[in-house]
Amino acid sequence: MKIKLAPMTDGDIDEVLEIEKLSFPSPWSKRLFLNELANPNSNIVLARDDTDTLLGFVCFWIVADETHILNIAVHPKFRRQGIAKRLLTHVLESAKNKGISYFALEVRNRNQAAIEFYKGFGFKAVGVRKGYYADTGEDAILMELEIKGQTNVSS
């Protein structure tokens, strides 16, 4: 599948919210996405196919010398086709171009798909935040990646 990446704008919000709602037990609100779009540290990148169907998105912050991945989701119809891999590779490359090599994120401890996904990029679990997710009481696994030299992703 041909995948095009582009920054999110306000006009994309309803499509993004649809994927968000299909992907998370406590989805981000419209207001939260609008706050991210207005935040100069925040980046939201969308993946669309060649018919402009929204496939997925990633939200990340680049602050000082680190990148924090806040949110990544792919529409359930399009999972396991390399879309999130393409999005995260883009995040790593964008940061690398700014000389940033440290990446961090939190993931629900029962979200095996996401944990496997991040491990595939070399992320390592480095800590646990007990009961971090108020909705389910789940712990957050803190994962980190430090890239030395070349980006260690295969796509």
The catalytic residue positions are 106, 118
Closest among 5, 2, 30 to 16, alpha carbons compared = 30
Residue type, position 149, single letter: G
Nearer to ligand COA, 7 or 120 (CB): 120
d(CA 42, CA 148): 24
- On whether the CB atoms of residues 34 and 72 are closer than 8 A, the answer is no
Which residues inside 99-118 make contact with ligand COA, applying CB under 6 A?
107, 111, 113-114, 116-117
Interacting residue with ligand COA among 16, 23, 33, 44 (CB under 6 A): 23
What single letter denotes the amino acid at residue 13? I
Handedness of CA 50, 82, 36, 66 (dihedral sign): negative
Using the rule CB under 6 A, is 81 a contact of ligand COA? yes
Return the number of the residue (80 or 99) whose C-beta is nearest ligand COA.
80
Task: Give me the residues that bind ligand COA (CB under 6 A), please.
Answer: 23, 72-74, 79-85, 107, 111, 113-114, 116-117, 120
